[in-house]
A and B are shown apart, each in its own frame.
Chain A
């Protein structure tokens, strides 16, 4: 189908962007790889699309004092190619290969994916496992939100009217830390049936499941048995029952445990 009618604006400055996104019926357009299909299918009917892809303040990957800051407009393809990400945030480097297909990775963005917060998407779980921080900006300045509380529910995040995801901050992985990313999908590039992002630090193992609940399910288990016991009953989807998903989650859990 064709998208419904809407107006379009491409701000050149952050000030202009904040003024535009506060208008009634405004919606932010970044890579558009989820928004444009939802427009084409008429699941969404904004009055104004604010194309933020011209805002340089939301671009780039930097490493400062052990913290990797990834601009919201960084595309999946840019993450995939980044030597900084490969070296310092290997979990994301591994996860990005599971995000859709090359042509979509060339345009879709990190910020767009986490602002949408699809329950079967890779990044929210990765950021929760990484204990990353989301930098949220409005005309009044920037506030930092921990990833876990940022993802509040089904397609629901801690973003207030007039705010944009500006960047994600992740502590660079230490030498004695390990990460693992596993995903089960019917076809390569599809959204996950069940997936798991895991981190092992000196102190603990952090496992974030996706595809089993409305938002990432984060466990910090002391043992494999404890982890299995604390998995909540997943919600069923169109193709898989709750019991199937729980079984698959346990399969991934065991695989992850042996690798961490």
Chain B
């Protein structure tokens, strides 16, 4: 029998209170309990980066954090950052540079890339590659993704 715990957190600016099983990870909670299916579930052991979300301002793996650990936290997902237009420039650049094909990795890729954008400094392509090294894309070969991020950061 799963232990149920009550958690209260702020998801994309809205406070929610739910009862969750101790073993449920954050991305399953977001997808199944809140219907926020933008964060994807790929490998489920922290390798692919498709489940990347932001917790208290830092990007994290949604599959490597329990929902109960997000109690009291501020969680932002691709849905929230799209609606707030925070990702507008990145999304436009991804579109223009053809930086996605199937799109499965894209929400995680945008979340990870935005963390680099927020550092507000010039970065080399090498640093961009290093920063997104934890996000796997099986379609593009990364070149176009790096182009898109490079354009937003370095103009």
Find out whether the CB atom of B69 lies under 8 angstroms from the CB atom of A32: yes
Identify the B interface with A (CB < 8 A): 1-3, 5, 21-23, 25, 28, 44-46, 49, 52, 58-61, 63-66, 68-69, 112, 115, 129-131, 133-135
Given contacts A104-B134, A106-B58, A188-B129, contact A32 B65 (CB under 8 A): yes
Chain A residues with CB under 8 A of B1: 5
The reply to whether the CB of A83 lies closer than 8 angstroms to some CB of chain B is no
Of the listed stretches A35-43, A135-143, A145-153, A224-232, chain B binds: A35-43
CA distance A104 to B58 in the complex (A): 10
Closest residue of A by beta carbon distance from B108:
A103
Find out whether the CB atom of B133 lies under 8 angstroms from the CB atom of A6: no
Chain A residues with CB under 8 A of B133: 101, 187-189
Find out whether the CB atom of A37 lies under 8 angstroms from the CB atom of B64: yes
Chain B residues with CB under 8 A of A1: 44
Residues in A4-46 with C-beta less than 8 Å from chain B: 4-8, 10, 32-33, 36-37, 39-41
CA distance A7 to B3 in the complex (A): 6
Select one of B23, B46, B69, B135 contacting A2, CB under 8 A. B23
CA distance A49 to B22 in the complex (A): 9
Find out whether the CB atom of B59 lies under 8 angstroms from the CB atom of A102: yes
Name 16 A/B residue pairs within 8 A (Cβ), A-sorted: A2-B44, A3-B23, A5-B22, A8-B3, A33-B64, A36-B25, A36-B64, A37-B46, A39-B23, A49-B66, A77-B58, A101-B49, A102-B134, A104-B134, A107-B58, A107-B60
Closest residue of A by beta carbon distance from B26:
A36
Find out whether the CB atom of A40 lies under 8 angstroms from the CB atom of B131: no
* Per-position 1/0 for A184-226, Cβ under 8 A of B: 0001110000000000000000000000000000000000000
In whole Å, how far is B66's beta carbon from the nearest beta carbon of chain A?
Answer: 7
CA distance A4 to B25 in the complex (A): 11
Closest residue of A by beta carbon distance from B61:
A103
The reply to whether the CB of A53 lies closer than 8 angstroms to some CB of chain B is yes
Residues in A101-145 with C-beta less than 8 Å from chain B: 101-104, 106-107
Given contacts A100-B134, A187-B133, contact A53 B64 (CB under 8 A): no
Select one of B28, B46, B112 contacting A36, CB under 8 A. B46
Chain B residues with CB under 8 A of A7: 3, 22
Chain B residues with CB under 8 A of A103: 49, 52, 59-61, 112, 134
Chain B residues with CB under 8 A of A10: 68
Select one of A4, A37, A41, A189 contacting B134, CB under 8 A. A189
CA distance A107 to B64 in the complex (A): 9
